[in-house]
Chain A
Amino acid sequence: MSTHDPDEALQRLLQRTLSEMPPRRAPATLELRVFSELQRRAALPWWRCSFMHWPAPARVAFLVICGALVATMFLGSGAAVAGLSSLLESGSPSLFWARQIGVLMVSAGNLMALLARTLPLTWLYQGIAVCAVLYAVLFGLGAAVYRTLYLHQPLNGK
């Protein structure tokens, strides 16, 4: 029964046993799933396929447009900012909403700065600690739910 080196004997035995094993039979649904997915992909319009499957003219046009957009952003961003600033300063009534948003953001920033200056540092640390604990608890609950409901579910009726 036993040989000189049990590890080696076990290795040889398993190698012999496992190499003789027939492959598992693929589920009957696999073929159907593959061809259904191929049909679904074939039915997609070209612009919803990956870029490499686009027609060559569309790919060229897309690259040209992207290049033009990037160039426009670089060249025109400075001018656009200057133009917007002058418009806001001119007090045009049509840009009232933009001014309000700007004021709101500045106020929010000021509030945050004020809180950072006035709140004790320990409160800040305690707040961070509470957030970390809540994150860990939620992560743990998620893991427990995953292991309970998903990981141990029966596999294809087995």
Chain B
Amino acid sequence: MSAKKNTTFLIFQDNEDARPIIEAVEQDNPGVDVQHQPGMVRLERPGSLIVKRETVEELTGREWDVQEMHLVLISLAGNVDEDDDKFEISWG
């Protein structure tokens, strides 16, 4: 698969609620490409992207349900694998 086709991405609204999630993605996904666009933030990475509950909880200082992510998620690309502790997308 070409590099372009292999790309996974998550796009979040650019607001207070999404900020800790974006920071968590930056921490947990080495080499992630963060593109700030008007009103939204696009996170791209070849292969896979993961959002970990533990990291977001550390950043927000409170309990966080992975499902809360959908309130600020605009779009995504990749096959979804999610449970109580993580939300992961990948091509594979």
**B and A form one assembly:** no
Residues of A with Cβ closer than 8 Å to B?
none
